[in-house]
Structures are given as C-alpha cells and as structure tokens.
Copies of this chain bind each other. A is one copy, B any other.
Amino acid sequence: MKEFDFIRRYLHRSQADADVLIGIGDDAAVIRPRAGYDLCFSSDMLLKDRHFFGDVAPADLAYKVLAVNISDMAAMGASPRWALLGAGLPQLQEDWLAEFCGSLFVLAQHFGITLIGGDTTKGDLVFNVTIVGELPQGRALRRDAAQAGDDVWVSGQLGLAAAALHHHWHTFALPDAVFDCCERARLRPEPRVALGQALLPVAHAAQDVSDGLAQDLDHILQASGVGAEVFADNVPTLPQLHDVLDKTALYGCVLAGGDDYELVFTAPRSCRSAVAEAGRASATPVTRIGRITQDRGRLNILNANGMPVALASLGFNHFE
C-alpha cells in the first residue's frame, strides 16, 4: 500500500464542515475563519517509550494522541475545530491502521473536529498533532491572569494515570480493580472542553495538568507573578488510592504525577458559586484546593497538619 492509497482510504473521510474550503489531499488545507472568533493553536508530539508503550492498542493510542491536544484547547476555553496529524509508522499494517483511524475519527467527531491535513512517513512510531480551535474574540483562559486572593481549583481526579504508570514500572502494585480505574484514566483522559468554555466568563487563569499539578500550577504562578498555597489532602484523587498507597507515593502521583489532563484554574472568591455552576453545567467535578497568594513564584503545598509537603520532583521533565 502506497502512502497515497493509505491517505485516501483511512484519512480522507468525508466530513461535513462548511468552513473547510479545501481539506486533505492538496498541498495545504484552506479554512474560512468565522467573523468574531480568534483562532487558537497547539501542537503536541508523542514518542514511543516516552509518551506511550510500544505495545499500546492502536485505538487507545489514537485516542490519547488526539485527546492531549484537545485538552490544550480546553485549557484555553476554546472549541477544537480542526486537526493535522503527522505520523511516523514502522509499516502500513492494515488492521492496525483501521483501528487507529477508527478510534481517531470517533474522538474527532465527538468533539466536532475535522482532520484537515497531515503527513505520514516510515519511521519509528511518533505522532504530532496540531490542533486549531475557536475562541470568542479577545477571550481566552490565559496562564498569566491569576490574581492574589483567587481560589485554586482542579477538575476531576488527579494522580490516577501516574499510579497506573508506577504499577507498570513495578514501583508499587495496585489491586486489579484500582489498577483498572487508573489505567483507564491513563489511556482515555477526558478533555475538559465543556468546562473550559463554561469557565470563560468566570475563571482568571487556567492550564491543563499534563506534567504534574505542582509544575503546571507553577507555570501559572510564574506567568502571573503570584504564589499559591495548596492543601494536598484537598486535591481529589481516586479514593481507593488513599488505602493502597503511602502518603509519599500518593502525594507523588497526585501532586507531581502528570498525564492527568484535568484543568487547574483560578477564580475570584466571589465566583465560587459560578464555578460550581460551570462544573454542573459541564457535568465535570470541580474542587477547590487552595488559594493564590502575593508570595511571588512561591508554591506552598501543605498537608492536613499545615506542614509543607516535600516532593521528590515537581513533575515530568521532558528531557530527563
């Protein structure tokens, strides 16, 4: 099968999108931006053994490759609209491709995303998705807009993906039922697009948790020139993890694990009920975990006794 047959068969699906003037199959795609909207761009590269195991099921792989990009749109409060997929593939194996592309298009359609381009080439497994979203003009959940006095919130539960990963690495072993929950969170993170949009009129700053809560919240602090105080035991996680992990392991997963793809965001105290309502409207759990301080760049994580929590690492380092 040649590259062009592959593209034709698997990627060149008819997708109804009136704003796409030229889709896959030319040198470039052409879209017509809608009046009143800004466009939002993000790009993530995923490499075998770095971001996923080589034996991952193709349907799970495709889901994650796209989902982590959708999560960046959620963190801006944007609606994902279009995506371009770059893929290095060791060979063109039809079953594998059919499963990969099937899963990719299910997720894309769920979020109303049209695949408008990409590039496939022979190589070790590597993927790069660029995603393009729409934002009402002048609106965005930025990193640099947190203000002293804001509450700090997170969506969903944190630390599950990291716990599953540690189970794979044999750092510790999880009971089967707990592992299944954590593994599902690792493989199928749910991008918080609806929450991000609901937060546009409410939140000050937001970011998705991909490299670990401490590190990602720190980006907000650095960009905004503020500090934060976070209550470690308020950070929501899978309740069973409290029973099976000691505090050090639990804090490591929840506060510095990464791969969560939940949102961490700040909002004024006066907006607590509005935040709760945004959570309800988007059917997304939201939990208040701390507050923004004037203590520039200082992230203070406290345990139930009000003592500082020491972390071995703030989170994932892309070059370690």
Taking Cβ atoms with an 8 Å cutoff, the residues of A that contact B are: 1-4, 6, 21-22, 25-33, 35, 37-45, 47, 50-51, 72-73, 75-76, 78, 82, 84-89, 91-92, 116-124, 126, 128, 130-133, 135, 137-138, 140, 142-144, 206-208, 219, 223, 317-320
- Kindly state the separation between the CA atoms of A38 and B19 in the bound complex, as whole angstroms: 10
**Would you call B26 and A30 a contact (CB within 8 A)?**
no
List the B residue with the shortest CB-CB distance to A206: B27
Interface of A is mostly: strand
List the B residue with the shortest CB-CB distance to A82: B41
- Kindly state the separation between the CA atoms of A128 and B46 in the bound complex, as whole angstroms: 11
**Would you call A142 and B22 a contact (CB within 8 A)?**
yes
Report the minimal beta-carbon distance from A281 to chain B, rounded to whole angstroms: 22
Report the minimal beta-carbon distance from A123 to chain B, rounded to whole angstroms: 4
**Contact A124:B122 (CB < 8 A) given known A38-B30, A43-B84, A140-B22:** no
**Would you call B41 and A29 a contact (CB within 8 A)?**
yes
Contact of A86 among B43, B117, B138 (CB under 8 A): B43
Interface centre among A1, A37, A51, A118 (most CB of B within 10 A): A118
**Would you call A319 and B143 a contact (CB within 8 A)?**
no
List the B residue with the shortest CB-CB distance to A45: B86
Interface centre among A39, A47, A91, A124 (most CB of B within 10 A): A39
Apart from A30-B39, A44-B119, list 13 A-B contacts with CB within 8 A: A6-B319, A26-B142, A27-B143, A28-B72, A28-B73, A33-B37, A41-B84, A43-B117, A44-B86, A45-B119, A47-B121, A47-B126, A122-B319
**Would you call B45 and A39 a contact (CB within 8 A)?**
no
A44 contacts across to B, CB distance below 8 A? 86, 119
